[in-house]
Amino acid sequence: MITLLTDFGEKSINAARSKAWIRKELSDHEIIEISHSIHQNDINEAVYVFNLIIDLLPQGTICFIGVDFDKRLIHKEIIYFEFQGLKIITYNNGFGTLLTNDNNFQFYHLTDFTGFHSEVIIDCFGPQLRELQLGSLSDQPIINNDKLNIKMPLKAVTKGEMLQGQIIFIDSQDTCYTNISKSAFDQFVEKSSFQIVLSRHERISKIWSQLEITEGGSTYCYFNAVGNLTISVHRGSAKRLYGLSRGHNLLIEKV
């Protein structure tokens, strides 16, 4: 199986070209398109979305992560690494260090690429996969730390009586996903009462363990499959209702 996670755009011809090339040149592989709607250069969003599906991917799945970044001509290496049984090919864009949370992880340097980002799967990732399948991983050099693009994860922080996180991802239903983990939330709240500040005039003081069926318009705050706080409006838009956006600082207060 090959998965595709890119910033090409859902309606981009580049997404269709990449899929068609895989069908033609790597026809024995099934394709799953995770998303082509990652915002350009947003590696944090790419890792967040990937983590939402990683537990359901079969062992041995090959993952192409095609998300461009500002310093691609400086960090021009294409890297390969294996994580939780998955085989991942991507740019040296910080995705690997964010996903593994380990700068000393073994990241293999496959080749350099300075071509058009829109053609990276066709011109680079796909051909490099074929090379890997024909050769041995031990033949590939491990990229040195001084060349590794290291990114630090965005974590929720405690400021006095407040826990501050960020909205990292908003899906097509305008559900807002934050980087506030359940463990960070539990450690902050302990046994105190709390309020999740959604807007100047709107606060919620409940975490739902399951969504209740309503006529629509109800707001739910819950921990998603990977344990991060999520804000959803049943048959509505959390993004529009509360004026939320990617990068928005979300506060939780003790009361």
Residue-wise pLDDT for 19-69, tens only, equals 999 999 999 999 999 999 999 999 999 999 999 999 999 999 999 999 999
Domain that holds residue 163: 157-254
Q: What pLDDT score does 83 carry?
A: 96
Tens digit of pLDDT for each residue in 85-108? 999 999 999 999 999 988 789 999
Residue 151 placed within a domain: no
> In the β-sheet with 108-112, what is the strand arrangement from edge to edge?
31-35, 2-6, 62-66, 86-91, 77-83, 108-112
- Spatial CA neighbour of 221 closest among 180, 187, 192: 180
d(CA 255, CA 33): 43
Does one domain contain both 88 and 212?
no
Q: Which of 111, 139, 167 is the last residue of a domain?
A: 139
Q: Work out how many domains the chain is built from and give that number.
A: 2
pTM for the full model? 0.91
Dihedral sign (CA 247, 72, 7, 96): negative
Q: Does residue 222 share a domain with residue 104? A: no
